[in-house]
């Protein structure tokens, strides 16, 4: 269902979930935040793509297990036609098949439905700011999954020791603010490092960068 636009300055959010009670509950929680505006809520991936073509949004909160096309396929289609839209997976599935599928499809965040409300708000804000958000409960899973497919170590791109250190902290699930505090760097400086690392490793996001660096033997991340 559509919702009236109240402020262009707010982050415009589309909620996608096939369970109406869950969908409406998410909408209520988001609309409590003065900087967020729920512009629509739909029950399928097909409806989400149609809504975005007609109305647009800044962030899509996407369930993975949907009728018709899956949340993974819906995300792939959304990113193909709306590359500036940020997709946050909100799901009960914690296994790597769905997690890696969503990340590979272009999702910028993955959050479990068991999470607290503050995590949902934090994740939505992070995506709206062009950042990435991964539920701490699944961060280790990403690393372990990539380790299972680890290739022979190679020299890889030349990363500085500082860049390697930041990558290791990202792999441990640390946020930009936490990394900056630990290394006595400003958040802007940390973001510049993240961008440079992704450019060197030719990846779309920092979690892919961590996986790529592990596979190439550039870094190791303690479990």
The pTM of this model reads 0.64
Calpha distance 129→118 (Å, rounded): 17
Calpha distance 138→64 (Å, rounded): 15
Give first-to-last CA distance, the chain, whole Å.
43
- Residue 177 has which token pair? 């603010």
- The fold of 142-215 is Arc Repressor Mutant, subunit A (1.10.10)
Mean pLDDT computed over 59-83: 92
Identify the weakest region by mean pLDDT among 88-92, 122-126, 208-212.
Answer: 208-212
- 141 CB neighbour count, 10 Å cutoff: 17
Q: In the chain, which residues fall in CATH 1.10.10.10?
A: 142-215
Instruction: For domain 11-134, say whether CATH 3.40.50.2300 is its number.
Output: yes
Q: In the chain, which residues fall in CATH 3.40.50.2300?
A: 11-134
Could you tell me the pLDDT band of residue 151, with boundaries at 50, 70 and 90? very low
Calpha distance 141→101 (Å, rounded): 13
Predicted confidence at residue 1, as pLDDT, reads 45
Predicted confidence at residue 6, as pLDDT, reads 44
Could you tell me the pLDDT band of residue 149, with boundaries at 50, 70 and 90? low
Predicted confidence at residue 223, as pLDDT, reads 47
């Amino acid at each position: 269902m559509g919702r009236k636009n109240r402020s262009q300055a707010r982050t415009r959010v589309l909620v996608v979930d096939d369970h109406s009670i869950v969908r409406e509950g998410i909408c209520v929680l988001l609309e409590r935040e003065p900087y967020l505006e729920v512009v629509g809520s739909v029950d399928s991936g097909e409806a989400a793509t149609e809504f975005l073509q007609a109305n647009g949004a800044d962030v899509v909160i996407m369930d993975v297990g949907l009728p018709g096309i899956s949340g993974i396929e819906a995300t792939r289609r959304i990113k193909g036609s709306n590359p500036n839209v940020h997709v946050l997976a909100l799901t009960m599935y914690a296994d790597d098949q769905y997690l890696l599928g969503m990340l590979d499809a272009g999702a910028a965040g993955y959050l479990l439905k068991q999470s607290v409300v503050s995590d949902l708000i934090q994740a939505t804000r992070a995506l709206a700011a062009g950042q990435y958000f991964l539920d701490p409960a699944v961060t280790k899973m990403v690393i372990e999954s990539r380790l299972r497919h680890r290739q022979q170590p190679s020299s890889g791109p030349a990363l500085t020791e500082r860049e390697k250190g930041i990558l290791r902290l990202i792999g441990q699930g640390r946020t930009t603010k936490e990394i900056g505090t630990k290394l006595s760097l400003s958040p802007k400086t940390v973001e510049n490092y993240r961008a440079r690392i992704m450019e060197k490793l030719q990846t779309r996001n920092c979690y892919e960068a961590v996986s790529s660096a592990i596979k190439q033997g550039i870094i190791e991340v303690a479990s």
